[in-house]
Amino acid sequence: MSENNSFVRKEMISERIPPAADRGLVKWVRENLFSSAFNAIMTFISLWVIYSITVAVIPWFLNGVWDAKTVRECYDLLDGKSGACFAVLNERFPQLIYGFKYPSSEYWRPNLATVLLIVALAPILFRRLPRQLLIFSAVYPFLAFWLIWGGSILTSVSAFLGCAIAVICYRRFSSRSFALAVLISLIAANVWWIIGGYIVDLNASFLSLEVVASRDMGGFMLNLLLGTIAVCLSIPLGIALALGRQSGMPIIKWICVVFIEFIRGVPLITLLFVANVILAFFFPPDTSIDLILRVLIMMTFFNAAYIAEVVRGGLAALSKGQYEAADSIGLDYTQSMRFIILPQALKISIPGIVNVSVGMLKDTTLVSIISMFDLVGMIRGPILSSTDWNGVYWELFGAAAAIFFVVCFSVSKYSQWLERQLETDKR
Amino acid sequence: MKTSFILGAVTVAGLTAGAAFAGTLDDVKARGKLNCGVSTGVPGFAEPDANGVWQGFDVAVCRAVAAAVLNDSDAIEFVPTTGKTRFTALASGEIDMLARNTTWTFSRDVDLKFEFVGVNYYDGQGFMAKADLGVSSATELDGATVCIQTGTTTELNLADFFRSNNMSYEAVPVETGSEAVTNYLAGACDVFTTDRSALAARRANFEVPTDHVVLPEIVSKEPLGPLVRHGDNNWGDVVRWTLNALITAEELGVTSANLEEMSKGTNNPEMNRLLGSEGNLGEMLGLDADWAKRAIAVSGNYGEIFENNIGAGTIIGLARGVNAKWTDGGLIYSPPFR
């Protein structure tokens, strides 16, 4: 009897490998590329597109000429073959990075300022670093100003001391009254700046670097300069505007609402034209405010209005209970904002703030339209219009895209990392 | 209503404040620097070289004025302007003069309140076509596709030209000159049209320039020249007569080579008046006697500037054509120095 039960297995069949069509590369290809007739057709079309682009681009890259004086020399060297003329990047590299008027003997200054910028930002960006580094972050803006614009270091020192005095005065009096503290610190700082101004004038050559006018800044340096300053200034301003918009005090609320809605309702390029062109009519010719400063103010306002809306979204996302909890344990407005509301709201707002800020960095290329020679302005103006290089488009704009991509991609990667770091609740 | 009135009042106040600084010549002297508006880059006319030094045909006018007024052809703040910002920069006093291939038109002169002090280049709109298209004249372009920059006078001139010749065309509108060239080279259009000087400059950098021909027809008048604000005739005179000095120097045969010798005094009274060894023309302008000599010393007379920047010997290779001096059948003519 038991012999007839041969169909009953006594032991498990050992695991076998799946059929050839259901494993490895074949399976992946079948499931992902040829799962239906439509997908199969799309796959073939995509393959064809990739192939034709590769065939066109690879020789263009490999044949690239890196050493030539003009575009015509490039054509001669290529001798009819398809190939890039990367020589323009070689030849005009300093112009792309620093603009064409920054004195070449002084290139170390913006370079050093950029390196120090990373050092100064590090303690702000990474919480694990020692907190003492923040002192350098506070000094950095003044140091960078001295490095990039030149002049006597006393100008920067005096400005820094003025700010320091203001902070000390504020600390001293803030326990009595907020308004009084602000007023006293403003007066003290201004008094110092007036005194400091005389001291600086007397020792104008002390530790002096060659002065570089704002008009002489250019290239990617200008983009980075405008982007960094505008973003750094606009985040606090934006937070203040967002809080102001939620305020119960009607005047503050309406000022903030009108400001935000006006700026958001106007294109950035219009504001830049106002900064460049219209403002010039209101100043007498010899007292005009520095063009970079005018542009910076407009960009800061623009970015601040957008950040304000992002932060407002973060504030609105918090449940009312958080506000009430803060009130119920007896915190005043400043304390409840500082310890309860803003840490949560800002965490929610990080993706939005980074999004707006990366957009701002890229929008700095708009200044090329008001004839400032940033990276794109350099390419569109002096380089593409020069007798030597007119006609080289892909190489130059490709390089600009690559530079911006590296910077913007790093920033967004950092923000994703930061989000993961701060994600304490939903894990 | 009220706000617009206030804004208007402020604007007027701003404008009158600008006009109050009427002594541009004194301002420039006091400042020690000439603020000269140039373009952001036109090959041969204004372009910074690899060292960042501005070069070109229009730039040479700025340098001549700076040399005449300040005795230093490098005492210039070059203010790059785009087609959109150039007029406001001049009107607001940000720049003292504009030398930026700007066409002298009625409305710019009268309505925008500028003063064109002369013409340093007579341009005109032309056509470029691929040589294998086999056309030798713009009148054979019936049915052609044409790459054209939108929003320019060239667009209107094109329509006029084809209509008056009973021809049809298909326009391919593009934003910038560089874009137009890329489209043209990619075959998106048969013909590319813009000012002839620009056509020549673009063509010079094509892979095979001889594959493209610039057709002989000129379909518009584009007199390009330096300009200053209305209302400061003294300063206008300085710029006008500096340009005229360059032109007269060519007429009289004063070149950068023989300038020193000629300025010692010759038996040609006009040359002596120009170079300051006779008469007091410089004093009448508010300058010293050597002003014209210094202007010419920078880069030579008009003809030399032309040849060195855009002439037949350069890559751009423009012929003098209508820009020859009047005695050679061209239009370049200066009133006498008397």
The encoded tokens of residue A161 equal: 């001391």
Same domain assignment for residues A261 and A382 = yes
φ, ψ of residue B54 in degrees (nearest 5): -70, 135
Q: Determine the distance in angstroms separating the CA of B49 from the nearest CA of chain A, rounded to an integer.
A: 7
Q: What is the mean pLDDT of chain A?
A: 84
Same domain assignment for residues A291 and A375 = yes
What per-residue confidence (pLDDT) applies to B11?
43
Q: Residue A98 falls within a domain, yes or no?
A: no
Number of separate domains in chain A: 2
Instruction: Answer whether B2-122+224-328 and B125-220 agree in fold.
Output: yes
Closest to A241 (Cα-Cα) out of A252, A233, A232: A252
Same domain assignment for residues A330 and A185 = yes
What per-residue confidence (pLDDT) applies to B237?
93
The encoded tokens of residue B102 equal: 């700007």
Check whether A423 has a pLDDT greater than 50. Answer: yes
Q: Give CA–CA dist B84/A274, Å, rounded.
A: 13
The encoded tokens of residue A84 equal: 């890039």
User: In terms of CA atoms, which chain A residue is nearest residue B24?
Assistant: A285
Check whether B81 has a pLDDT greater than 90. Answer: no
Check whether B159 has a pLDDT greater than 50. Answer: yes
Check whether A281 has a pLDDT greater than 60. Answer: yes
Mean per-residue pLDDT, B8-36:
67
Better pLDDT: B204 or B166 = B166
Q: Residue A213 falls within a domain, yes or no?
A: yes
Closest to B35 (Cα-Cα) out of B92, B82, B84, B83: B92
Can you give the length of chain B in residues?
A: 338
Q: DSSP state, A124?
A: H
Amino acid at A289: I
In sequence order, the 6+-apart residues with CB closer than 8 A to the CB of A69 are A87, A91, A388
What per-residue confidence (pLDDT) applies to B4?
41
Can you give the residue ranges of every domain in chain B?
2-122+224-328, 125-220
| B 217-236 residues with CB < 8 A to A | none
Best of A371, A394, A397 to mutate (most B CBs within 10 Å, chain B): A371
φ, ψ of residue A13 in degrees (nearest 5): -75, 135
What per-residue confidence (pLDDT) applies to B68?
93
CATH top-level class for B125-220? alpha beta
Q: Give CA–CA dist A91/B140, Å, rounded.
A: 43
Please tell me the least confidently modeled range out of A23-27, A173-177, B74-78: A173-177
Check whether A91 has a pLDDT greater than 90. Answer: no
**ipTM (interface predicted TM):** 0.72
8 A C-beta contact, residue A322 and residue A249: no
Same domain assignment for residues A50 and A192 = no
Say yes or no: A77 contacts chain B, CB-CB below 8 A: no
Q: What is the number of other CB atoms lying within 10 angstroms of the CB of residue A211?
A: 10
Count of A-B CB contacts under 8 Å: 110
What per-residue confidence (pLDDT) applies to A288?
62
Mean per-residue pLDDT, B170-181:
81
For the domain made up of B2-122+224-328, give the CATH fold.
Answer: D-Maltodextrin-Binding Protein; domain 2 (3.40.190)
Mean per-residue pLDDT, A33-43:
90
Report residue A286 CA to chain centroid gap.
33
Better pLDDT: A326 or A124 = A326
pLDDT above 70 covers a percentage of chain A that reads 96
**Pair type for strands B222-224 and B121-123:** antiparallel
Quick: pLDDT tens for A198-251: 777 777 677 778 888 888 888 899 999 899 899 989 999 999 999 999 888 899
Mean per-residue pLDDT, B229-242:
92
Mean per-residue pLDDT, B244-252:
93
- Which residue range is the domain that position A33 belongs to? 22-87
Instruction: Report the b/e string of A240-266 with b at 16+ CB within 10 A.
Output: ebbbbbbeeeeeeeeebeebbeebeee
Extended strands (E) in chain B = 34-39, 47-48, 54-55, 76-81, 97-98, 114-116, 121-123, 125-130, 144-149, 169-174, 191-195, 212-214, 222-224, 227-229
CB contact (8 A) between residue B11 and residue A281 = yes
Instruction: Kindly write down the DSSP assignment for every residue of A352-394, as one continuous string.
Output: HHHHHHHHHHHHGGGGGGGT--BHHHHIIIIITTSTTTTT--H
Q: What is the number of other CB atoms lying within 10 angstroms of the CB of residue A292?
A: 20
Q: Which strands, in side-by-side order, build the sheet including B191-195?
A: B169-174, B144-149, B191-195, B125-130, B212-214
Q: Residue A348 falls within a domain, yes or no?
A: yes
What per-residue confidence (pLDDT) applies to B2?
39
Report residue B26 CA to chain centroid gap.
25
Same domain assignment for residues A46 and A186 = no
Q: Residue A99 falls within a domain, yes or no?
A: no
Q: Residue A325 falls within a domain, yes or no?
A: yes
Q: What is the number of other CB atoms lying within 10 angstroms of the CB of residue A358?
A: 19
Same domain assignment for residues A319 and A406 = yes
Closest to A362 (Cα-Cα) out of A408, A414, A306: A408
Check whether A105 has a pLDDT greater than 80. Answer: yes
Nearest-CB residue to B41 (from A80, A92, A382): A382
CB contact (8 A) between residue A101 and residue B316 = no
Same domain assignment for residues A302 and A396 = yes
Q: Determine the distance in angstroms separating the CA of A380 from the nearest CA of chain B, rounded to an integer.
A: 8
What per-residue confidence (pLDDT) applies to A424?
66
Q: Residue A329 falls within a domain, yes or no?
A: yes
Quick: pLDDT tens for A254-270: 999 999 999 999 998 88
Same domain assignment for residues A306 and A363 = yes
What per-residue confidence (pLDDT) applies to A38?
92
Closest to A254 (Cα-Cα) out of A263, A244, A262, A264: A244
In sequence order, the 6+-apart residues with CB closer than 8 A to the CB of A342 are A239
Same domain assignment for residues A67 and A178 = no
Report residue A17 CA to chain centroid gap.
52
pTM for the model stands at: 0.78
Angle at A263 between CA A261 and CA A265, to 5 degrees: 65
Please tell me the least confidently modeled range out of A329-333, A390-394, A410-414, B145-149: A390-394
Q: DSSP state, A278?
A: I
8 A C-beta contact, residue A317 and residue A310: no
What per-residue confidence (pLDDT) applies to B9?
41
Q: DSSP state, B84?
A: T
In sequence order, the 6+-apart residues with CB closer than 8 A to the CB of B11 are A281
Residues on chain B touching A286 (C-beta within 8 angstroms): 21, 27, 31
Q: Residue A309 falls within a domain, yes or no?
A: yes
8 A C-beta contact, residue A173 and residue A231: no
CATH number of the structural domain spanning residue A265:
1.10.3720.10
